[in-house]
Amino acid sequence: MATNETPATPAKRESIFHRMYVGTGAFDVVGKRKYWYAFFAALILICIASIVFRGFNLGIDFKGGTRISMPDQGTAGKISTEQVTDIFDSTLRKEPAAVQTVGTGDSTTIQIRSETLTTTEVAELKKALFDELEPIGQNGQPSERAISDSAVSASWGGEISRQALIALAVFLVLVTLFLAFYFERWMAVAALAALVHDVLVTAGVYSIVGFEVTPATVIGLLTILGFSLYDTVVVFDKVRENTRGLLGLTRRTYGEAANLALNQTLMRSINTSLIAVLPVLGLLVVGVGLLGVGTLQDLALVQLTGIIAGALSSIALATPILVDLKMREPKFKEQARRVHARRENLARKAAGASAARDADGDLIVGDLPATDDESLESELRQERAMAAASSVPARNQKATDQQRRRPTGKQGGRPSGKQGGRPSGKRRH
């Protein structure tokens, strides 16, 4: 008995993970780029506002201060950072900027960082630390000389900042030249826009969270530049492959071809970013949570933020910007116009054929010209079949070799063209 139920298409039965893995253009990132632009604009505005009004929590390496170091072993046993913080607070009536354990194994020390202290304050603090904790020196005996102090000049932090800015400028120039020659100028512009987004977001997160900015932070910020560009270059390479010879075709517009390339590299970008994030999470959990090393905290946070921001911008920001820049060129506008004209023509033919009737007035249900949507769906099915075929194991090698050695054109074990063991074309007279 006939029913009116319409069977679900294979595309509807596919899960989101399958569509991500196959990469047949199921996610219209480029088509919804206005929503992504609004999201990134809001994110950047929040980060810039935090940087301007809240600022950064600069460490003593950038604004100057006093650093005091001492062994973490005393006559009463191992010295904790909590004990040192309490002594500092009770002696000077103010809190230190940071107290942390530095080093590993038997060579660990406790390092105190604070704002600039006077000579009298340093002497009082060192005397209080020795009287309360009695740190053991290199000779194995308690010694006040085991407690050392040093003044950190703000000019050193300024020099680090200048060197970092110079390195950033050189990096941007070299990357721009590479992308412009290897790809094209609009790809270079789009990649740099995504890179600026990553740097601003990473700096904004540091400002919002309030973590102390140290030289490790600067190193981490320079490190994420490579992560930011890696995914972008991979996506752009696929975009260039999909759009080669596009101006002579009317199947897809530049935006549709770029969106397909984005889908085809989506799982690669996600997997690469995930693998890069896992060791950084290890730094946060093990280095900060278990070992309590503050330097690892600064490095891990900036790298974690940069990797996530870089992966997101390469997927949802760089390619849409590239499409908008390319569609400003007249030749790509004309190609898009021809694509839409072809689709409208196919739609009109399909509508006219479906409305045609025979001489008896019955509706003709013969072969109708396929619409562009049907053509695209057929093309997607072919792409899914190719992706599925790539995961099918190869045939048995032995059977394959036997097929290759089998002579062609034989029937019943005798060569073709011969009958009864005699050459064809010859007759017995």
Kindly tell me the burial class for residue 222, based on how many C-beta atoms sit within 10 Å of its own C-beta (0-12, 13-18, 19 or more): middle
Sequential DSSP letters for 399-417 = HHHHHHHSPSSEETTEETT
**Spatial distance between the Cα atoms of 309 and 290, rounded to a whole number of angstroms:** 27
The amino acid occupying position 351 is A
Higher pLDDT, 364 or 92: 92
Determine contact, residues 351/272, Cβ cutoff 8 Å.
no
Cα 22 to Cα 239, 246, 264, 383, 391, distances in angstroms: 17, 23, 7, 8, 11
Confidence of residue 317 (pLDDT cuts 50, 70, 90): very high
- Could you give phi then psi for residue 151, rounded to 5 degrees? -100, 135
Question: Mean pLDDT for the chain?
Answer: 75
In this structure, the dihedral spanned by the alpha carbons of residues 270, 275, 280 and 283, taken in order and rounded to 10 degrees, is: 150
Which of 102, 113, 107 is closest to 58 using CA atoms? 113
Q: Is the pTM of this model over 0.75?
A: no
255: Cβ–Cβ under 8 A, 6 or more apart, which residues?
Answer: 30, 31, 323, 327, 336
Structural domains of the chain, ranges and CATH numbers in brackets: 25-58+156-330 (1.20.1640.10), 65-152 (3.30.70)
**Spatial distance between the Cα atoms of 142 and 136, rounded to a whole number of angstroms:** 4
**Spatial distance between the Cα atoms of 278 and 270, rounded to a whole number of angstroms:** 12
Higher pLDDT, 72 or 236: 236
Confidence of residue 300 (pLDDT cuts 50, 70, 90): confident
pLDDT of residue 197: 92
Residue 80 has pLDDT above 50, yes or no: yes
pLDDT of residue 368: 40
- Could you give phi then psi for residue 410, rounded to 5 degrees? -110, 145
Higher pLDDT, 373 or 220: 220
217: Cβ–Cβ under 8 A, 6 or more apart, which residues?
Answer: 206, 211, 298, 299, 302
Strands 422-423 vs 418-419: parallel, antiparallel or unpaired: antiparallel
Which of 327, 330, 37 is closest to 197 using CA atoms? 37
Higher pLDDT, 79 or 423: 79
**Spatial distance between the Cα atoms of 78 and 301, rounded to a whole number of angstroms:** 29
**% of the chain beyond a pLDDT of 70:** 71
pLDDT of residue 76: 73
Sequential DSSP letters for 81-118 = HHHHHHHHHHHHSS--SEEEEESSGGG-EEEEEES---
Mean pLDDT calculated for residue range 111-118: 83
Confidence of residue 412 (pLDDT cuts 50, 70, 90): very low
Residue 54 has pLDDT above 70, yes or no: yes
Higher pLDDT, 392 or 277: 277
Q: Which two tokens stand for residue 24?
A: 């047949």
